[in-house]
Chains A and B, each alone.
Chain A
Amino acid sequence: MGKIVAVTGNEACAQALKQINPDVCAAYPITPATDLMQRFSGFVSDGKVDTELVLVESEHSAMSACIGAAAAGGRVATATSSQGLALMWEMLYIAAGTRLPIIMPLVNRALSAPLNIHGDHSDGMGARDTGWIQLYSENAQEAYDNTIQAFRIAEHLDIRLPAMVCMDGFIVSHSIERVEYIDDADVKNFVGKFQAVHPLLDLDNPKSYGPLILTDLYHEYKRAQHEVMTKVPKVVLEVASDFEKMTGRKYGLFETYRLEDAEIAVVVMSSAAGTTKDIIDQYRDKGVKAGLLKPRMFRPFPYLEIADALKHLKAIAVLDRADSFGGYGPLFMEISSAVMSMDTKPAMINKIFGLGGRDYLPDQAEQVLDELVKVAKTGKVQTVKEYIGVRE
């Protein structure tokens, strides 16, 4: 039995990293992820972990150092947000293309300009195509649990890919809430001993990382990278199953809430899913058959599984806490792709909400559900993409 504490999302993630005790962390501070690594660096200074902490001069260097340490044969982690992730951009692709299982809590924050330190998913969505596994967390408990599971997933010998564990900046990273910690020994046992694959420090077997591959094999290499991604869902579910045996807490590729008999549904990720569930309960009490689907694994995206879960619905609203200017929201694009495989397609609307930390309030969820009721009745969509919670 673990310990029940009142901690922030950042504190919970730092605790997970402490319990896992990585070989190397390279980090550079950025709000709101600063506090996570600051706490972890405290564990390093106090001798609570054996980690070699490399304090670098930028996030580009942080990810570069992580790549070097992971290629050398170490278990490696870092954390960042927003501009920090943006500055890592080049190295994110190299970490994934080199198949290095680096773990990175990403404390989601808006991107400049204009400068804004608050939570939205612009940073994570921008890293969609980097080849990293992405797990999104609703609350501090999920951020903690996902961090622990991410090590098992990323380091699985069939996978060996880097993974981001996302939580909403400030909303979750800086809110204190109840979290159940797992015992140190159980975490250690669950994550297991790190197995190095082709480590550079195995000097008897010299090898080379980062080769040049031109038109002869690059295309095949990239196809292979996609093939590996297709194996991730099975591993995510296996790890979730073991995790449930240890903690009783259930995880999947996505979570459904009152969806089985629903006629309308909201698809939304992270902390906004929690608020939406409360409002769905109110609408259920009024006799409205509403449900929710919350993607947990955004990369790889489980198109078929999600299509199966949504196939009976009349109308779906996809809520994006990020935008693609001149396009639909990134989550809406994925759900549309999933819906493509259905014979009878539900009507779909896309709402952009909560950019730069704008509060997602109950009345916004109510507005969305009211519109869904109408869309389900008429089968007609007025405007596909709209912004909610906008000051007029």
Chain B
Amino acid sequence: MAKTIEIRWHGRGGQGTVTAAKVLADACLSGGRYVQAFPEYGPERAGAPIRAFNRVSEHVIRMYGPVLHPKVVSIADATLMDAINVTEGAPDDAIFIVNTSKDPKEVREKLGARDTQKVFTVNASKIAVECFGKPLPNSSMLGAIIKVTGIVEMDALLENVKKSFGKKFAQKIIDGNLDATKRGYEEVKEG
């Protein structure tokens, strides 16, 4: 793994994108690593496009401010590809992970991804509805991210999904999110 990996999350207010960035940071603490997770604070409205960021490094992270050149771009809502420039600043070796039912090849075209960039898709909303009855995609997105990047072990991630949801939700919802995380890991496809 590179010394520092930077992730940018695109989602819509109320989808749990910020929570997902937090869960990932918590999980990545393992192995003595340094982490950052923070959203971009603006007017906080349900449904509005939001961005959140992660940095994970083997060294102390001193850089503050938004991630400008994300190695990983997680797009939790495919309609954002029409609304904003989700590829902005992404380097040649960037990885895009999109929540969509569409074929990865079609998404690659839509994104205008370069040949050196990788595009993955996962039907995270559908998985979420099947696992816990709500179209909240980010547990599955987390599963897909760790599959594609190997940034952290599944056990560490599941433990932190459990911890995060355990504070607020019933056991059924927690179990559903754990299943969704595992299915995101298994069902992510490359295009």
Residues of A that sit less than 8 Å from B by CB: 4-6, 117-118, 138-139, 168, 170-172, 174-178, 271-272, 274-275, 277-278, 357, 359-362
A117 to B39, CA, bound (A): 15
Q: How many Å from the CB of B33 to the closest CB on chain A? A: 8
Please, which residues of chain B bring their CB within 8 A of the CB of A4? 29, 32
Is A175 a contact partner of B64 (Cβ separation < 8 A)? yes
Q: List 26 A-B contacts (CB under 8 A).
A: A4-B32, A5-B29, A6-B22, A6-B29, A118-B41, A139-B62, A168-B64, A171-B64, A174-B38, A174-B39, A175-B36, A175-B64, A176-B21, A176-B25, A177-B25, A177-B34, A177-B37, A178-B35, A274-B62, A274-B63, A278-B62, A278-B63, A357-B41, A359-B65, A362-B63, A362-B68
Residue B66 at the A interface, CB < 8 A?
yes
Is A359 a contact partner of B66 (Cβ separation < 8 A)? yes
> Given B26, B32, B37, B68, which contacts A175 in the complex, CB threshold below 8 Å?
B37
Residue B129 at the A interface, CB < 8 A?
no
A175 to B67, CA, bound (A): 13
Please, which residues of chain B bring their CB within 8 A of the CB of A174? 38-39, 41
Return the 7 tightest CB-CB contacts between A and B, nearest first.
Answer: A274-B62, A175-B38, A176-B37, A271-B64, A359-B65, A6-B26, A6-B25
Q: Give A358's nearest chain B residue, CB to CB.
A: B65
Residue B61 at the A interface, CB < 8 A?
yes
Please, which residues of chain A bring their CB within 8 A of the CB of B25? 6, 176-177
Q: Give B62's nearest chain A residue, CB to CB.
A: A274
Is B37 a contact partner of A178 (Cβ separation < 8 A)? no
Is B41 a contact partner of A176 (Cβ separation < 8 A)? no
Residues of B that sit less than 8 Å from A by CB: 21-22, 25-26, 29, 32-39, 41, 61-66, 68
Q: A174-B41, A275-B63 are in contact. Are A361 and B26 (CB under 8 A)?
A: no
Q: A176-B22, A176-B25, A178-B29 are in contact. Are A6 and B65 (CB under 8 A)?
A: no
Q: How many Å from the CB of B116 to the closest CB on chain A? A: 23
Q: A118-B41, A176-B22 are in contact. Are A6 and B35 (CB under 8 A)?
A: yes
A272 to B35, CA, bound (A): 18
Q: A177-B34, A274-B62, A275-B62 are in contact. Are A361 and B22 (CB under 8 A)?
A: no
A332 to B182, CA, bound (A): 54
A275 to B61, CA, bound (A): 9
A271 to B61, CA, bound (A): 11
Is A176 a contact partner of B35 (Cβ separation < 8 A)? yes
Please, which residues of chain A bring their CB within 8 A of the CB of B33? 178
A138 to B63, CA, bound (A): 11
Q: A271-B64, A275-B62, A359-B66 are in contact. Are A177 and B35 (CB under 8 A)?
A: yes
Q: Give B38's nearest chain A residue, CB to CB.
A: A175
Is A361 a contact partner of B34 (Cβ separation < 8 A)? no
Q: Give A117's nearest chain B residue, CB to CB.
A: B41
Please, which residues of chain B bring their CB within 8 A of the CB of A357? 41
Q: How many Å from the CB of A19 to the closest CB on chain B? A: 20
A171 to B36, CA, bound (A): 11
Q: Give B21's nearest chain A residue, CB to CB.
A: A176
Please, which residues of chain A bring their CB within 8 A of the CB of B39? 174
A177 to B55, CA, bound (A): 9
Please, which residues of chain B bring their CB within 8 A of the CB of A275? 62-65
Please, which residues of chain B bring their CB within 8 A of the CB of A361? 65, 68
A242 to B41, CA, bound (A): 38
Please, which residues of chain A bring their CB within 8 A of the CB of B34? 177-178
A172 to B25, CA, bound (A): 15
Is B22 a contact partner of A272 (Cβ separation < 8 A)? no
Given A178-B33, A274-B61, 17 more pairs with CB closer than 8 A:
A171-B64, A174-B38, A174-B39, A175-B37, A175-B38, A176-B26, A176-B38, A177-B37, A178-B61, A274-B64, A275-B62, A278-B62, A278-B63, A359-B66, A360-B65, A361-B65, A362-B63
Is B37 a contact partner of A272 (Cβ separation < 8 A)? no
Q: How many Å from the CB of A283 to the closest CB on chain B? A: 15
A168 to B68, CA, bound (A): 20
Please, which residues of chain A bring their CB within 8 A of the CB of B62? 138-139, 274-275, 277-278
